[in-house]
């Protein structure tokens, strides 16, 4: 948590970066895509936080890191990708 605060990135960025690196090593590739879950409660619907029901959604996240990337570069890329992902968090996976 302290590292995330001092680096001004989210804990999710750290966890997803580590997961992406693990998948890259297992798959022997620099480019991986995996599903991430969103709450779906950020939609511009009045009182959505008080509604009952399933709003979660799975959004793909791409981690593309080079061997020459530093850890901070990877974390920044992942953090940026997560922020950009918010634009699509209400898009169904089938689209």
Give pTM, 2 decimals.
Answer: 0.81
Phi then psi for residue 58, to 5 deg, are: -105, 125
Given pLDDT bands bounded at 50, 70 and 90, which one contains residue 10?
confident
Q: How high is the pLDDT of residue 88?
A: 83
Say how far apart CA 29 and CA 26 lie, in whole Å: 8
Of 55, 47, 65, nearest to 92 by C-alpha is 55
Tell me which of 16 and 88 has the higher pLDDT.
Answer: 16
Q: How high is the pLDDT of residue 74?
A: 92
Q: How high is the pLDDT of residue 66?
A: 84
Q: What number of helices (H) and strands (E) belong to the chain?
A: 3, 2
| pLDDT tens, residue by residue, 19-68 | 999 999 999 999 999 999 888 777 677 787 788 878 788 999 999 988 88
* CATH architecture observed for domain 2-81: 2-Layer Sandwich (3.30)
Where are the chain's structural domains?
2-81
Q: How high is the pLDDT of residue 95?
A: 56
């Amino acid at each position: 948590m302290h590292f995330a605060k001092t680096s001004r990135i989210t804990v999710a960025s750290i966890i997803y970066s580590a997961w992406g690196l693990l998948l890259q090593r297992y798959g022997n590739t620099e480019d991986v895509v995996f599903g991430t879950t969103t709450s779906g409660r950020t939609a511009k619907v009045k009182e959505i936080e008080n509604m009952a029901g399933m709003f979660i959604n799975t959004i793909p996240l791409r981690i593309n890191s080079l061997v020459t990337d530093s850890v901070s570069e990877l974390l920044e890329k992942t953090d940026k990708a997560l922020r950009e992902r918010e634009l699509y968090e209400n898009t169904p996976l089938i689209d």
